[in-house]
């Protein structure tokens, strides 16, 4: 059986053609699932009884609620989902069955940080998620359930693909999920409300830029290749210099944004020498650098940079023509901050 959550209008039209349903049934299904958030075929009252009965035989809509939630002192919420709870898609892999997403409230904004894989292959030295290894790709439905099933679903203003996993390593599912979020038959969001991150998987980044209008965020963390590879093994296969060269071929003068994420580690990448090299690397590229305080954990030996070093780094970039902001740390007390998602049931 097929889970219809995450299916595109075209895919649903193909299903209707195969089953001999009227073509308009596909758009009706989109309206019920994506606009009205209805997951029960019996409640789709403008579908004929014959269509509803047949749909119940060949398909289902599975959008499970989170199995746990933690709330930070700053209002951030971390939700835990069980990816092995679908009776029609049994998953016997006991490890890594849980994934997490994070809702970050900020005044009239509510940002959802979403996961796209169970674990991660990239093995970045500073990331708790990467330390657990890779346990599988999330399907389109499993990516979208994080946005559809949380209590804040209807008040979300932004979504960032910065949770567990490397989005460019699961790009087909990521692109289809953003299509559901932005299409006129889906959530009808502007793609400018969605940001997709990457460590810099260059061929897939190119495909993403060619096929999507969503914002792009690149995890950089060190401008010197020989030092960056010690933090991010992906540098060996996808050098940051080559990636930046690719990014220069695209137009960033419009509403679409390019940002670089830069986590500061004490004595590792927080010197003014690093700041100067970062300015040289990004010279002339319309972008923003988001500085991130490192969130320490017992599993990682790296330490947070002193406030003075962070301020000096930020001031250097801004005074040398690179727009730079310091991202506020949220949810650290519940292991919901950047790099801390582990997908573990407490």
On whether the CB atoms of residues 220 and 260 are closer than 8 A, the answer is yes
Instruction: Give the span between the Cα atoms of 84 and 113, in whole angstroms.
Output: 21
**CA 329, CA 140: separation in Å to the nearest integer?**
29
Q: Which residues contact 57 (CB under 8 A, 6 or more apart)?
A: none
Q: What is the DSSP letter of 304?
A: B
Instruction: Indicate the angle between helix axes 307-319 and 272-282, nearest 10 degrees.
Output: 30
Strands 109-113 and 117-119: unpaired
Output the six-digit token pair for 266.
Answer: 């004490």
Structure tokens belonging to residue 63: 């959008």
- Catalytic residue numbers read 100, 338
Which helix (H) or strand (E) segment holds residue 219: the answer is strand 215-219
C-alpha pair distances (Å), 236 with each of 198, 223, 229, 230, 258: 15, 14, 6, 10, 23
The CA-based angle 44-142-147, given to 5 degrees, is 70
Pairwise CA distance, residues 78 & 39, whole Å: 24
């Amino acid at each position: 059986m097929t889970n219809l959550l995450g299916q595109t209008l075209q895919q649903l039209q193909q299903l209707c053609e195969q089953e001999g349903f009227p073509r308009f049934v596909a758009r009706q299904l989109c309206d019920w699932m994506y606009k009205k958030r209805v997951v029960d075929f019996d409640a789709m009252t403008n579908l004929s009884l014959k269509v509803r009965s047949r749909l119940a035989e060949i398909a289902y809509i599975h959008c499970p609620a989170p199995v746990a939630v933690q709330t930070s002192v700053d209002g951030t919420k971390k939700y835990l989902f069980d990816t092995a709870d679908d009776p029609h898609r049994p998953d016997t892999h006991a490890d890594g069955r849980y994934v997490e997403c994070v809702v970050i409230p900020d005044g009239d904004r509510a940002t959802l940080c979403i996961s796209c894989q169970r674990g991660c292959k990239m093995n970045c030295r500073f990331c708790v998620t990467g330390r657990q290894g890779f346990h599988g790709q999330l399907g389109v439905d499993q990516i979208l359930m994080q946005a559809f099933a949380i209590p804040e679903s209807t008040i979300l203003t932004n979504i960032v693909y910065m949770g567990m996993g490397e989005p460019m390593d699961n790009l087909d599912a990521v692109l289809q999920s953003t299509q559901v979020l932005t299409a006129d038959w889906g959530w009808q969001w502007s793609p400018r409300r969605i940001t997709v991150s990457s460590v810099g998987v260059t061929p897939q980044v190119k495909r993403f830029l060619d096929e999507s209008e969503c914002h792009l965020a690149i995890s950089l963390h060190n401008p010197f290749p020989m030092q960056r590879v010690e933090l991010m093994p992906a540098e060996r296969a996808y050098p940051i210099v080559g990636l930046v060269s690719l990014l220069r071929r695209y137009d960033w003068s419009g509403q679409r944004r390019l940002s670089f994420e830069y986590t500061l580690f004490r004595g590792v990448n927080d010197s003014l020498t690093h700041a100067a090299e970062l300015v040289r690397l990004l010279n002339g590229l319309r972008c923003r650098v988001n500085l991130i305080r490192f969130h320490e954990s017992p599993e990682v030996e790296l330490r947070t940079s002193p406030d003075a070093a962070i301020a000096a780094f930020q001031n250097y970039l801004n005074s040398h023509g690179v727009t730079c902001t310091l991202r506020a740390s949220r949810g650290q007390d519940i292991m919901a901050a950047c790099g801390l998602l582990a997908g573990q049931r407490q």
